[in-house]
Amino acid sequence: INTQPDIAFNSVDFLAATDVGTALLYHSGRIKSLVPQDRTLEGFLFPDTYLISTQDKADILVAKMLANLESKLTEQLMLESNATGLSFYEIVILASIVEREAIVPDEMPVVASVYLNRLKLGMRLEADPTVQYALGYQAGSNEWWFSGLTQDHYRSADSPYNTYLYDGLPPAPIASPGIAAINATTYPASTQFLFFRAACDQSGRHLFAITYEEHLNNACR
């Protein structure tokens, strides 16, 4: 945003327009009942291409993003999301992790199944994207999503968003999931998988496992 001089707002304005309580200001539909009043709009700003006027302020773009998500939330989706045992806000939290974790779209329901299986068993999610989110911007590598995670990062990033250190879901979404990730979390694959790791062929796919021993055997050699 800050590199676009013709836009009438900057990143500070945009963050202010998505801050706590703003769903009530900019949107009159279902979204305002789905976002807790003590949370920002993170996770509900639907990722898409938007056309705005050079005179439009940040709140106009925010309203468009919320309305776009609203249009994707069918009555059937909202009804069947309850079957997961999660609130819709929790679905968006988990979908945001699936969005960041799954590179190949057809794996999203399987990735979602792993996290849901772990939640049901009381296991920690241990999701790398939550550690990346907790670390934030890394000036040394100029990365928002730090790709050089080590075991030390898993232990030292002391944040409720770090699912290696804290049980359950993070307190809020870590990204804005697309409708594919939301659907995958609402309609996950039926699996017994509890682990996955990147495949060794650089395809972006993952190798899934039920047991930790299988998981270790899936390591690249």
Can you give 54-117 as a three-state secondary structure string?
CCCCHHHHHHHHHHHHHHHCCHHHHHHHHHHCCCHHHHHHHHHHHHHHCCCHHHHHHHHHHHHH
CA-derived radius of gyration, the chain: 18
Tokens of 164: 């290696």
pLDDT at 150 over 90: no
Helix, strand, or coil here: 120? helix
pLDDT of residue 174: 96
Helix, strand, or coil here: 198? strand
- Mean of the pLDDT values across residues 74-102? 92
99, 109 in Cβ contact below 8 A?
no
Q: How far from the centroid of its chain's Cα atoms is residue 135's Cα?
A: 15
* Residues of the chain above pLDDT 70, percent: 96
How many Å apart are CA 21 and CA 35, to the nearest integer?
Answer: 9
Q: How far from the centroid of its chain's Cα atoms is residue 21's Cα?
A: 20
The confidence band for 21, taking pLDDT boundaries of 50, 70 and 90, is: confident
Tokens 């049901």 found at: 120
pLDDT (tens digit, 9 = 90+) per residue, 162-209? 999 999 999 999 999 999 999 999 999 999 999 999 999 889 899 999
Helix, strand, or coil here: 182? helix
pLDDT at 28 over 80: no
- Mean of the pLDDT values across residues 104-113? 96
Phi, psi (rounded to 5 degrees) for 195: -140, 155
pLDDT (tens digit, 9 = 90+) per residue, 40-87? 999 999 999 999 998 999 999 999 999 999 999 998 998 888 888 899
How many Å apart are CA 7 and CA 58, to the nearest integer?
Answer: 9
Amino acid at 208: F
What residues form DSSP beta bridges with 213?
Answer: none
How many Å apart are CA 115 and CA 125, to the nearest integer?
Answer: 6
The confidence band for 26, taking pLDDT boundaries of 50, 70 and 90, is: low
Distance between start and end Cα atoms, the chain: 43
pLDDT of residue 126: 95
The confidence band for 23, taking pLDDT boundaries of 50, 70 and 90, is: low
Using CB atoms within 10 Å of the CB of residue 137, give its burial: 0 to 12 exposed, 13 to 18 middle, 19+ buried: exposed
pTM across the whole model = 0.90
